[in-house]
Structure 1
Amino acid sequence: MTDPPVPTADPLPESMIDRDQWVCWRSEQRDGKATKVPVEPGGGYASATDPDTLRSFSAARTHAVDAGDTGLGLVFTDDDPLVGVDLDDCRDPDTGARFESADDIVERLDSFTEVSPSGIGLHVIVAGDLPAGRNRRGDVELYDSARFFTVAGHHVDGTPDHIPQRPEALAAVHSEYVAPETSAASTSGSNAASQSTSRSAKQGPENRLSDGDLIDCARNAANGEKFRRLWRGSTVGYPSHSEADMALCSLLAFWTGGDADQMDRLFRESGLYREKWDEVHFSDGATYGGRTIERAIAGTDEFYDGGGDDDWDPLGDGDSVNSRTPSMSGDDGGRSVGNSEGDALTTLREELNELERENERLREELAAERAQRADLERQLADRESAGLARYLPWR
């Protein structure tokens, strides 16, 4: 596997370079698939919702160059005017030829555009306001917060080398390529979106949390530790990955007020996200992710309303699994979660598994130290033997 490209500042707009919103990324295997994972320069894993893990361009680039298997990524936040338009599978990596729809979007936005590291996608970065509603349909995604774009520095000829304001063009692209069609079967998440309409009405727009604020509230709530584990991608204590997905979605349903689009957007940023999320799993055309969101909303009876009830805990014991979470019947075992006794056992299993992982880590460290000591002892013996040989008469 070749190392990701690490661009210099030359091909990139100043409005990107000047922002301390950079992370590194590397490819890791998750569920047998290569996934781009954000990395804090000089630290552990980074998060697009944690400003403490973001760095300047120069700091991130220095780390990427030193690491050798790491690329660069720009994080979109609530504090910048940038919107990233991700066009997947739209380009022939050998000829550079683009699909007609991708050409149309690039021409309309008329902003800085580069080829993604894979060579088969395009990233357009534009200044403007992302219209409300869903942010993805098919191979077109738009993000303005809580997300990072890989940056390769492969500027597309003929596109601007800067990032202009394009609010009208952005709205037009969103309306034509992303906003839901009138047909009920137009998008995978339409069922979840329609289910959320009446529920999210309980929470007025003035009480909506931005993605970043929502993550902060969820992390610091009474059940914040459970949310943090799920957000990192831990499935410890759950019989299947799908039940961990449902647990996180139940939390997101509460904090978003049942907003299916925001739930989908946030889940894709979590460590639990996998390609299965977008796969059609039901005869009516619904995807696994869309149906999971729909069920999580249907099983949630109370929602965050901005009134300070950020210590919400459906079980009253710090657990994040909604007691009304429906079972994932027909998928990955179909076991339901959420009863009080089961949650207590889940918590104990998690604690036990945490201890086992810690013991395993310590055993690995001890084995490594012993191997290092044995190697040093061999080196010392070799040197002593070489020094003694100089004085032996038959030498």
Structure 2
Amino acid sequence: MGTGVPAAEALPEGIVSRDQWLCWRTQERNGKPTKVPVNPHTGSFGSATDSGSWASFEEARAYAIDGAADGMGFVFTDEDPIVGVDLDDCRVPETGTLTGVAPAVVETLVSYTEVSPSGTGVHVLVEATLPDGRNRRGSVEIYETDRFFTVTGDHVDGTPLSIERRHDELLEVYTEHIATGDETSGDTPAETTEGATREPSSSISDEATDLSSETADAPDEPIDETANSNGGSTSSSSRSDLGDAELLERARAAANGEKFSRLWRGDTSGYESHSEADMALCALLAFWSGCDESQIDRLFRESGLMREKWDEPHYADGSTYGEKTIERVIAGTDEFYDPNPESEGGSGHEDSVDVRTSSDTTQADPDVEATILRLREERDALVAREQEHLELIDDLRAQVERLEAENERLHAELDELRETTTGADAGTDTEATTPSTATRFWQWVTGDGTE
């Protein structure tokens, strides 16, 4: 462990001096390597949103060298001015040549740049403020809070050794590579990020099922009343038939559009965990898409919340985390947006919407709606926390297996050492208690020592 741990001299003072460090280790999960954040104080799981699990650079480095960790990572927070730009699949390891958009981005930012652990990507650190909006598009990702970047100290030649102030330049990169086309979904699934990493976790809260407030600014359009009773599939009549771009536009323009936009760009503030935010965004997408599983999955992959965990099998039936998240959200959704009001005899106003449940097509009492919403939130919170506990059990089981293997190895070494020591002691005792032939002869002659 610790063969790729950087020294303080190889890194900018701007990150070395901050107590915002985690370690990470690679764990094999279902045949796929996954980076897991580690608390340098305890060796247990760390979190980019739990400052109690962070450490100083010196503490993290010491653990990475001596403990069960593969490397170190720096956590971005609202308190620091540092923004991380992650460029994936843009470097040829054998030659160090940058490809794709990387040369232009690195040249524009002119700040500390290093090679990612895989050798196939680079990370650029700048001092700036990230604009509101999404955090990723294609191979470019930009983060400023609640994330941690793996740090290698493998500096890219020709770039500064310090983190430079580059607000205008970052805005230029953001506008060209991420914000452009933000109103479309871009049907390409988002790549996983090697540098920006989130810890596995789970549960849900007030925004996950806030369906009535989403449409409070647009009354009187009928909603499809078909309840989703099978926990996954929805009838064609419940689907909204909105294109990806139109769905995003309507979701952002709704009364709770700010909530949607915050989740869409990957902001998990206000949630107990990343998985809680995942379910919240999926719940909103379920409403606007009419519980169209394909569209929910496609759009979620384009959001800032997308991470490797989405495609990892996490359940005995082989379901991935993403599939199960969508399934659970759809099972609890019985309110849908319908852009075709004529089908229900509605007003026909395209920009209006009426929210009804599958069991009651009359105007709901506000107090009853509030109670239903609260109960849904509590139910989803329990479901998501149960998922979090199951994931924690899996992680703890992996730790136990690792410790058991280490214990067996140490026991084997101890047994071998005992055998060696016993053999040496036996040889010493024989030599010490058995007189030589000359000694026995002298004792016989002198009568000394004979009976």
Q: 1:206 to 1:183 in 2, by over 3 A?
A: closer
RMSD: 4.9
Once the two structures are TM-superposed, the CA of residue 289 in structure 1 deviates from its matched residue by 6.2
Q: How does 1:106-145 map to 2 (within 5 A)?
A: 106-145=106-145
| Partners of 2:136 and 2:303 within 8 A in 1 | no
Matched, 1:24 2:65: no
Matched, 1:268 2:307: yes
Measured in 2, the distance between the counterparts of 1:134 and 1:297 equals 24
Measured in 2, the distance between the counterparts of 1:14 and 1:374 equals 44
Q: 1:186 to 1:151 in 2, by over 3 A?
A: same
Once the two structures are TM-superposed, the CA of residue 93 in structure 1 deviates from its matched residue by 1.4
Q: 2:126 aligns to what SS in structure 1? A: strand
Q: 1:11 to 1:319 in 2, by over 3 A?
A: closer
Measured in 1, the distance between the counterparts of 2:62 and 2:148 equals 18
Measured in 1, the distance between the counterparts of 2:104 and 2:414 equals 64
Question: After alignment, is 127-136 or 103-112 more displaced?
Answer: 127-136
**What residue number does 1:281 align with?**
none
Once the two structures are TM-superposed, the CA of residue 174 in structure 1 deviates from its matched residue by 1.5
Once the two structures are TM-superposed, the CA of residue 291 in structure 1 deviates from its matched residue by 12
Between 1 and 2, higher relative CO (CA 8 Å, sep ≥ 6) is seen in: 2
Q: 2:376 aligns to what SS in structure 1? A: coil
Unmatched runs of 5 consecutive residues or more in structure 2: 191-241, 289-298, 314-320, 336-369, 437-451
Q: 1:192 to 1:296 in 2, by over 3 A?
A: farther
**What residue number does 1:249 align with?**
278
| Partners of 1:110 and 1:159 within 8 A in 2 | yes
| Partners of 2:185 and 2:302 within 8 A in 1 | no
Measured in 2, the distance between the counterparts of 1:166 and 1:300 equals 44
**What residue number does 2:35 align with?**
36
Count of aligned pairs: 320
Measured in 2, the distance between the counterparts of 1:386 and 1:46 equals 52
Q: How does 1:267-306 map to 2 (within 5 A)?
A: 267-268=306-307, 272-274=309-311, 296=329, 300=333
**What residue number does 1:334 align with?**
none
Deviations 1:65-101 (A, max 9, x none): 2237521211111222211111111111121211152
Deviations 1:147-205 (A, max 9, x none): 11111112222212222222222122122212252666454479767545544533263
Measured in 2, the distance between the counterparts of 1:350 and 1:39 equals 18
Q: 2:107 aligns to what SS in structure 1? A: helix
AA at the equivalent of 1:77: T
AA at the equivalent of 1:135: N
Q: 1:295 to 1:394 in 2, by over 3 A?
A: same
**What residue number does 1:51 align with?**
51
Once the two structures are TM-superposed, the CA of residue 124 in structure 1 deviates from its matched residue by 0.5
Q: 1:194 to 1:131 in 2, by over 3 A?
A: farther
AA at the equivalent of 2:54: L
Unmatched runs of 5 consecutive residues or more in structure 1: 220-226, 232-246, 277-287, 303-307, 323-342
| Partners of 1:196 and 1:294 within 8 A in 2 | no
AA at the equivalent of 1:250: M
**What residue number does 1:91 align with?**
91
Measured in 2, the distance between the counterparts of 1:289 and 1:173 equals 30
| Partners of 2:41 and 2:53 within 8 A in 1 | no
Deviations 1:195-243 (A, max 9, x none): 455445332638968946323xx36xxxxxxx8xxx5xxxxxxxxxxxx
AA at the equivalent of 2:21: W
Q: 1:131 to 1:261 in 2, by over 3 A?
A: farther
| Partners of 1:91 and 1:98 within 8 A in 2 | yes
AA at the equivalent of 1:6: V
| Partners of 2:251 and 2:257 within 8 A in 1 | no
Once the two structures are TM-superposed, the CA of residue 35 in structure 1 deviates from its matched residue by 2.1
Once the two structures are TM-superposed, the CA of residue 145 in structure 1 deviates from its matched residue by 1.5
Once the two structures are TM-superposed, the CA of residue 4 in structure 1 deviates from its matched residue by 4.6
| Partners of 1:251 and 1:320 within 8 A in 2 | no
Measured in 2, the distance between the counterparts of 1:95 and 1:374 equals 46
Q: How does 1:155-304 map to 2 (within 5 A)?
A: 155-181=155-181, 185=186, 187-188=188-189, 195=247, 197-199=249-251, 201-203=254-256, 205=258, 211=267, 213-215=269-271, 218=272, 231=275, 249-253=278-282, 264-268=303-307, 272-274=309-311, 296=329, 300=333
Q: 1:313 to 1:61 in 2, by over 3 A?
A: farther
Measured in 2, the distance between the counterparts of 1:91 and 1:369 equals 39
**What residue number does 1:389 align with?**
430
Measured in 2, the distance between the counterparts of 1:293 and 1:160 equals 44
Q: 1:73 to 1:184 in 2, by over 3 A?
A: closer
Q: 1:257 to 1:171 in 2, by over 3 A?
A: farther
Q: 1:314 aligns to what SS in structure 2? A: helix
Once the two structures are TM-superposed, the CA of residue 268 in structure 1 deviates from its matched residue by 2.2
AA at the equivalent of 1:205: E
Q: 1:88 to 1:293 in 2, by over 3 A?
A: farther
| Partners of 1:253 and 1:300 within 8 A in 2 | no
Measured in 1, the distance between the counterparts of 2:424 and 2:285 equals 66
AA at the equivalent of 1:35: T
How does the TM-score come out when normalised to structure 2?
0.56
Q: 1:167 to 1:316 in 2, by over 3 A?
A: closer
AA at the equivalent of 1:139: S
| Partners of 2:22 and 2:40 within 8 A in 1 | yes
AA at the equivalent of 2:80: D
Q: Percent identity?
A: 40
Deviations 1:21-45 (A, max 9, x none): 1111222212212222221113211
AA at the equivalent of 1:314: R
**What residue number does 1:67 align with?**
67
Larger radius of gyration: 2
Deviations 1:296-329 (A, max 9, x none): 5896579xxxxx99x955275575449xxxxxxx
How does the TM-score come out when normalised to structure 1?
0.63
